[in-house]
Amino acid sequence: MKKKCHLWLLGLSGSGKSTLGPLLADRLGLSFVDTDQRVTEAAGCSIPEIFKDGGEARFRQLESRIVSEVSKLQPAVVSCGAGVVLDPVNRQIMSTHGIRIYLQASLSVLSERLSRSNDRPLLSSGPLLPQLQAQWEKRRNGYEESELRISVDDGTPDQILGRILEKLSDV
């Protein structure tokens, strides 16, 4: 990476954004920001509570505000909520203020990783695979606009981190 800028980690739930983000930030000497954590801090309650009280619309409104605020901070590695790409303004902000890194995982791998999770309101009813498929279809174009794409289906976090760093050395 030729100059320090925001690195926006994108991908469906379970793709490893929250795991890889702190590792990448540490390696590059950047701070780490988790937009979901910032949303819960701003709302004063958990993500499931935000969805219960204000629905997805309220969550997306808070998320967009956080993306805008973070874009004005010093360069950081930013783990974004899986649906952040649904808003074209968010995509514009991220592309203007850094490099978007799409952590690509197959739906079967994501389904396995998320099979024991119960804190994701948009994946809480019924079988995971069809829900993940529907989300991916809605978000695909936003993810695929990313400057970098990294496969995360296999490898340890350190191996995947190596792939990210290798790709970053080219930009």
Q: pLDDT tens, position by position, for the chain (171 residues)?
A: 667 899 999 999 899 999 999 999 999 999 999 999 999 999 999 998 999 999 999 999 999 999 999 999 999 999 999 999 999 999 999 999 999 999 999 998 988 877 766 555 555 566 778 888 999 999 999 999 999 999 999 999 999 999 999 999 988
Would you state the pLDDT for residue 4? 87
Q: Is residue 1 part of a domain?
A: no
Would you state the pLDDT for residue 166? 96
Total tally of structural domains belonging to the chain: 1
Domain encompassing residue 52: 7-168
Would you state the pLDDT for residue 20? 98
Would you state the pLDDT for residue 171? 82
Q: Is residue 2 part of a domain?
A: no
Would you state the pLDDT for residue 117? 63
Would you state the pLDDT for residue 116? 63
CB-CB contact of 51 with 40 (8 Å): no
Q: Is residue 80 part of a domain?
A: yes
Q: Is residue 132 part of a domain?
A: yes
Q: Which residues fall within 8 angstroms of residue 114, CB to CB, at 6 or more apart?
A: 13, 14, 120, 123, 128, 132
CB-CB contact of 39 with 69 (8 Å): no
**CATH code at position 52:** 3.40.50.300
Would you state the pLDDT for residue 137? 96
User: Nearest to residue 47, comparing CAs of 18, 76, 90?
Assistant: 18
